[in-house]
Amino acid sequence: MPGIGVIGCGNIMRNAHIEPTLRDHPDVTLTAYYDVDADAAQSFADDFGGEAVGSEREVCERSDAVYIAIPPNAHGEAEQACLETGTPFFVEKPQALDLGFAQEVAEEVERQRLMTMVGYQWRYTPSASAFREALEGHTPALVNMWWYQGTPRIAFNRYRSKSGGQVVEQVTHIVDTVRYAVGEIAEVFGWARNVVHRDAEDWDNDDVGAAAVLFESGAVGTITNCYALTGGAPGGNGAEVLTPDRRVLWQGKTVTVRTSDGEETTEPFSDPPHRFEDLAFIEALKTGDSSLILSPYTDSIRTLAVTLACARSGESGGPIAI
């Protein structure tokens, strides 16, 4: 019967984790909420039961496990409270903007053998399994990853200092799923620039980026990203892997395999994608079976390292080894 506490009572916690899954899960009790905005925490207590409390530590002390869902630049105290109290935690991606901090947390998580999950929900979905299976026994040669859209609506995504930029905050999902299905990325070199938002108010971020990546296997690929479709042109996101005999395209809920015999696309699943990871986390907490966790803190840090390197490499003047 895990008692779940929450640090960061905003959009993703309410709409992706609590309302679709945690609120009605027969084995979950929502215990305590902390947010720097006390009204946000109180609104969760009013709507879902449990209590609004005055600190991260109080959330931990009242809970068997904690969800951390705060802006990318706000990490620190929440993880500290979990580590000091030995509380298992789920943390939304990106797990930090400071790789050194994330490495310290990872070391302590490892030392305590603490159960953790980072919010890379796609790994838990049928489409990520299909992506991985479609590549088994084939040799990935070229791997392209992309996310294209217009000006982001979420306020912190307008600032590189708050979000880490589009690759760190958003394309991270694509990079992580590709790591899961294809393998590890060894080196990155890329550029990012602000092209369309030069005169935009309330904006300090790049709106396009392109990086070349080298996989440990020797495969090469690209990560391209765009916030510049401000005129309403259609966007999209996904990854495509080219092997000698097939092209495998993953786009969220579906996978398309193209061969010389034609093309086949999987049926899209109907559950919200975050539900798969939440159910896995609860089951892991209940049973103690950490093999159910496909995105532990200590592994996800590699996704963070790749995405941070994309943001830095253009400025450092050379490829960055991960």
Ligand X SMILES: NC(=O)c1ccc[n+]([C@@H]2O[C@H](COP(=O)([O-])OP(=O)(O)OC[C@H]3O[C@@H](n4cnc5c(N)ncnc54)[C@H](O)[C@@H]3O)[C@@H](O)[C@H]2O)c1
Footprint of ligand X (CB under 6 A): 7-13, 34-37, 40, 69-72, 74, 78, 92-93, 119, 121, 154, 169
**Shortest distance (Å) from residue 16 CB to ligand X:** 6
Q: Which is nearer to ligand X, 76 or 319 (CB)?
A: 76
Least Cβ distance, residue 53 to ligand X (angstroms): 11
CB of 235 to ligand X, least distance (A): 16
Nearer to ligand X, 144 or 300 (CB): 300
Could you give the 3-state DSSP secondary structure of residue 121?
A: helix
- Which CB sits closer to ligand X, 118 or 223? 118
- Residue 304, amino acid: L
8 vs 50 by CB, closer to ligand X: 8
What order of strands is seen across the sheet that includes strand 236-242?
262-265, 254-259, 247-251, 236-242, 142-148, 220-226, 208-215, 185-193, 320-321
Distance CA 284, CA 296 (A): 12
Q: Please give the Cα distance from 39 to 41 (Å, whole number).
A: 5
Q: Which residue is nearest to ligand X (CB)?
A: 10
Q: Hey, CA dihedral for 258, 259, 261, 264, is it positive or negative?
A: negative
Question: How far apart are CB 304 and ligand X at their closest, in Å?
Answer: 12
Cβ 87 to ligand X shortest distance, Å: 15
> In 10 A of CB 185, how many CB atoms?
28
- Which of 140, 209 has the CB closer to ligand X? 209
Sheet strands side by side (includes 3-7): 51-52, 29-34, 3-7, 65-68, 89-91, 116-118
Give least dist CB 148 to ligand X, A. Answer: 17
Of the pair 67, 189, the CB lying nearest ligand X is at 67
Strand 51-52 with 89-91, pairing: unpaired
Give the DSSP H/E element, type plus range, for residue 259.
strand 254-259
